[in-house]
Chain A
Amino acid sequence: MKLFARLRSWFRWIVKPQQLENEMETEVRFHIESYTADLVCKGVPQPEAMRRARIEFGGIESHKDAMRASLGLRWWGELCADIRYGVRMLRRSPGFTTVAVASLALGIGANTAVFTLAKAALLDTLSVSNPESLRLLAWTQDDKSVVSSMWGDFYPDGKGHTLVASFSYPVYQQLRSQNHELGDLFAFKELGGGLDRLTATIDNQSETVTGELVSGNYFAGFGVGTVLGRPIEPADDLAAGGGPVAVISDAFWARRFGRSSAVIGKAVKLNLVPITIVGVAPKGFTGASHVEVSPDVFLPLTMQPIIAPKGDSSLLNDPEIWWVQVMGRLQSGISEKSARASLAVTLDQAVRATMTVPKDGTLPPLTLIPGNRGWLSYDDRQLQQPSLILLALTSLVLLLACANIANLLLARSASRQREMSVRLALGAGKARILRQMLTESLLLSLLGGTAGLMLGYLGRNAIPRLLSASWGATPIRSQFGWPIFAFALTISVLSGLLFGVGPAWQATRSIVNAGLKDSAVTTTHHGKGFAGKTLVIFQVSLCMLLLVGAGLFVRTLVNLNTADMGFQQNGLLLFAINPPKVRYPAPKNIEVLHQIEETIAPLPGLESVTLSESPLLAQTASNDGFFPDGQPRRPGHEQSAMLNSVGQTFFATMRIPLLYGRSFDFRDTSTSPKVAIINQALARKEFAGISPVGKTFKTEEEDRYEIIGVSADAKYADLRGDPPPTFYVLYRQQKDARHGMTFEVRTNGDPGGVVGSIRSAVQSVDKDLPLIDVRTQTEQIKASIAPERIFAAVTAGFGVLALILASIGVYGIMAFTVGRRVNEIGIRMALGAPASQVLKMILRETAWLAAIGIGTGVGVALLLAQFLRSMLFGLKPTDPSTLAGAALLLFAIAMLAGWGPANRASLIQPMEALRHE
């Protein structure tokens, strides 16, 4: 209550300072005049009465000051004065202010942009009620696990096993109905990965959308409703195909329906199945899998057999294929341990009830993992190291900027020594001067922070854009909200303090007497030059660190870009086609793909057309068993190879040379004997010393192939590493093309120019088949090395920035040193030292600074570079040529920066210098 009264009174006078002055004046005048009048009444003569009244009242101004202090206005007034003074000081040296604000803006802007990314990658949680209590059910798979068939993402658990979060639908139902301590279990399945996307036909227009199959209690379990219509309810999820309804995401609603409320009840087709839209999910809700992007549509899980069929039978009754993710909430008062234990028992029972367990088979051991980031975003742990490295690098840049400003401030405080001495002599307290200096620093850092925030805002999408494939959705959505502002404000204030405290402390140590004499000799004591030089050495070593980092990442990118891929990437256009199962059950899907291949091939502008199950360098690959006939099966010997199912002209179109034997040709049809081509790596591994052509082998499913040729090695899924042992088979000789196929089209000119004619050609085959992920092979490769490109671009930028900041630092300190030694240099020259000797003397000092800084930087870089090992390609973290290159560059730039002051020193006229104080 009292505090409130104070705040109200404080605020009242803050906004009306003039009224306060008037009122005080009136009140004091009234007092003095009344007293004078009383004295006159007592018989004192008027002039004498007035004099006495004034004397007895005391110093009017000092009382007024005390009155202002009583209202708590004093520190405010002082702050205003400090800020006004600070602004004036900054405006008086625009060069300094510009450099300081610009370097801070770059430092803070870079930090803000990286923090935005790191926050999204590491900190954000699902926007549902109480995400911290969510637990995702998972288990670790070993060799003897009874579960062998899975559909979904799984991750290495770091201990040599695989972490899986998929369950069979019968097991989920058993888990849900049995007793356990983890609340009601709800289930979901993402349909967004790769070609699992759905084809949506809305108003006779088809496009691909992402989806999530969800159990009937999913929305209730998350505590999430809809902004329009109703959520998916248990009644929608009772029987296979029984709930042809969908809830759409806010983004999809805006993108496709312009936020029209008429969307409720609208009939659309998903994978050619009629579906009614019943609700719109709230903005910010991203489903259970990601924290960043929402699936476009949510459908009942029981729609799986109809909308996203896998094979012939429904997964709802299939105990063998494990594919749904299950989440529950930890109830208050129940420990995670006991919840896990009770659920593990239930899981064992459920597995035994639904599957036959062989004698030595292991049951899936249950673990609970935090569900607050969803399952797919769980894998963002991978982003942890790159994010932390980027954060570390950006904070080095900011540190460098701070060191730079501290250095400039130190030099300035030398020139402001007289001002400080005057203030101290006039009775200003040290605390008051410290506060004044810090106010100026904070003013500077807040200016820099504001500019940095703007830079960060402009650049907020730069990194996510670099990360995302140009043809796909941005995986990470940068949200520019309060946490970002708070972060920018915090680092601005921290850096203001960091670079401000030293120089401010220095300022209070001014010696009044010496300062007032204003002599160059007495005002600069040894300590200041030393502090400045230490700072510059620090700057040079930071710069060295950043340069080494930039060198390593840029060379990694160069190595990746120039790596021999084994095929010709230029002029290739890629797109995928995924014939929906409803219309094209196997093997009809293969027929329609072949029909499309034949339709496209004669189009003008096309050199050749082929297709493959996995596009190259897209981080997808298949593998299968590889058992050459006539060779005994060797236990312990890895008898599998990578596999790609391709079109007849694959090798010609991709320009992969054939070394022995023949390529696929017209003789190889869907009914002819099965043939395969193996690459050199596989030939070397399985057929050392003998010709593989004409040999036969079997795959896991006992299909027998004859090897007709050996191709040169080509990279498959990943640019890193050697091409894996691979065999290629003809897609037309396969039973199914489960996930659709990717077409590779070699064009004569611009690959983009033929998209239109291809699209209409495909639509002439079936108007409901969209081209998916249209891109060039070059774009595909660029996307596969997106993190490396980001690191190279960002660190190279930081390197340049660091060079600029360090050269400003070197220039500043050398100019300061020369200025301080004008007298000495003058004497030297008067005594006969030639200009070249002076030049050398100053340059030698620069060289020492640079050398010490570079040496320290190299030492630290050698220690820290180990953390980068896993992110480099084709070079070691201690790559000598990178280190030497960075050191030479930095040394050259430092010497260049020191040249100006040195040159000025050599031009000093002895007479002028000696007269100079």
Chain B
Amino acid sequence: MGKQIDLLQGTLDMLILKAVSLGPLHGYGVLLRIQQISGEQLEIQQGSLYPALYRLEHQGLIASEWGESDNKRKAKFYSLTAAGRRQLHSETEKWNRMAVLIASILRTTSEEV
């Protein structure tokens, strides 16, 4: 396990939307998928995932349904709604623009000023 990175403020919602966009997941599954796709490099406090899930559902960005987990247990599965898909799309775009901008600023050398 390499060095872990603290999650940037406000990015947890985006990550959850992304994780759920790949297929319905229960809360624990969301945690696992984020860790998996981040290459185990992101530190998320496990409990704080749930307030975020509830907030997104409250806003209508994800929907939930009770179902059965792999180990035959009752679990609540979250999936992306149409509104959530739009939100993820616009957040992704915003993030990418920001990243490009920040990167270009940080690349600036003294000659370019």
Contacts and interface: CB of A to CB of B under 8 A. Distances in A.
A57 B48 CA distance: 8
A6 B59 contact: yes
B51 A66 contact: yes
B27 to A, nearest CB: 5
Interface in A19-77: 23-24, 26-28, 30-31, 33-35, 37, 56-60, 62-63, 66-67, 69-72
Contacts of A70: 51-52, 54-55, 58
B46 A67 contact: no
Contact of B75 (A10, A30, A62): A30
Contact of B28 (A2, A34, A66, A69): A34
Contacts of B47: 28, 57-60, 62-63
Contacts of A1: 60, 83
A371 B71 CA distance: 79
A10 B46 CA distance: 25
Interface string B52-71: 10110111100000000101
A30 B54 contact: no
B85 interface: no
Contacts of A26: 74, 76
B26 interface: yes
Contact of B50 (A9, A27, A34, A56): A27
A34 B52 CA distance: 20
B107 interface: no
Contacts of B75: 27, 30
B44 to A, nearest CB: 10
Contacts of A23: 76
A15 interface: no
B45 interface: yes
Nearest to B55: A70
A63 B48 CA distance: 6
A69 B55 CA distance: 8
Interface string B1-42: 000000000000000000000000011100100000000000
A59 B48 CA distance: 10
B94 interface: no
Contacts of B71: 34, 37
Nearest to B54: A70
Contacts of A9: 57-58, 60
A69 B48 contact: no
Contact of A6 (B26, B51, B58, B74): B58
Contacts of B26: 27, 30
B59 A2 contact: yes
Identify whether the interface residues of A are mostly helix, strand, loop, or mixed.
helix
A8 to B, nearest CB: 8
Contacts of B51: 63, 66-67, 69-70
A66 B47 CA distance: 10
Contacts of A71: 54-55, 58
Given A58-B45, A63-B47, A5 B74 contact: no
Nearest to B81: A5
Interface residues of B, number: 24
Nearest to A72: B58
A37 B69 CA distance: 13
A63 B50 contact: yes
A37 B71 CA distance: 10
Contacts of A66: 48, 50-51
Nearest to A9: B58
A744 to B, nearest CB: 80
Nearest to A35: B28
A77 B46 CA distance: 26
Contacts of A30: 26-28, 69, 73-76
B6 to A, nearest CB: 15
A32 to B, nearest CB: 9
Contacts of B60: 1-2, 5-6, 9
A71 B71 CA distance: 29
Contact of B46 (A24, A33, A56, A69): A56
A5 B47 CA distance: 25
A322 B46 CA distance: 90
A56 B59 CA distance: 27
B50 A67 contact: yes
A843 B101 CA distance: 81
A329 B45 CA distance: 72
Given A35-B46, A60-B47, A27 B27 contact: yes
Nearest to A53: B46
A637 B106 CA distance: 104
Nearest to A34: B28
Given A27-B27, A35-B46, A57-B46, A2 B54 contact: no
B17 to A, nearest CB: 15
Contacts of B46: 31, 35, 56-58
Nearest to B30: A31
B50 A5 contact: no
B25 to A, nearest CB: 12
A56 to B, nearest CB: 5
Interface string A762-801: 0000000000000000000000000000000000000000
Contacts of A63: 47-48, 50-51
B76 A28 contact: no
Question: Which of A27, A66, A71 has the most chain B CB within a 10 Å cutoff?
Answer: A27
Contacts of A35: 28, 46
Interface string A246-282: 0000000000000000000000000000000000000
Nearest to A64: B50
Interface string B65-97: 000010101111000000100000000000000
B73 to A, nearest CB: 6
B46 to A, nearest CB: 5
Contacts of A27: 26-27, 50, 75-76
Contacts of B74: 26, 30
A34 B26 CA distance: 11
A156 B91 CA distance: 73
B42 to A, nearest CB: 14
A830 B73 CA distance: 80
A63 B45 CA distance: 11
A5 B59 contact: yes
Contacts of A10: 58
B38 to A, nearest CB: 17
Nearest to A20: B54
Nearest to A71: B58
Nearest to B75: A30
Contacts of B57: 9
B91 to A, nearest CB: 15
A66 B74 CA distance: 23
A72 B57 CA distance: 12
Contact of A67 (B28, B54, B73, B76): B54
A6 B55 CA distance: 10
Contacts of B76: 23, 26-27, 30
Nearest to A65: B51
Contacts of B73: 30, 33-34
A9 B81 CA distance: 15
A23 B76 CA distance: 9
A14 to B, nearest CB: 12
A655 B47 CA distance: 99
Question: Which of A1, A6, A63, A69 has the most chain B CB within a 10 Å cutoff?
Answer: A63
11 contacts: A1-B83, A2-B60, A5-B58, A5-B60, A30-B76, A33-B73, A56-B45, A58-B45, A66-B51, A69-B51, A70-B54
Interface of A: 1-2, 5-6, 9-10, 23-24, 26-28, 30-31, 33-35, 37, 56-60, 62-63, 66-67, 69-72
10 pairs of A and B residues whose beta carbons are closest in the complex: A5-B60, A58-B47, A66-B51, A70-B55, A70-B54, A63-B47, A67-B54, A34-B28, A31-B28, A57-B47
Given A2-B83, A71-B54, A72-B58, 17 more contacts: A2-B60, A6-B58, A6-B59, A6-B60, A26-B76, A31-B46, A34-B28, A56-B46, A57-B47, A58-B45, A58-B48, A59-B47, A63-B48, A63-B50, A66-B50, A69-B51, A70-B54
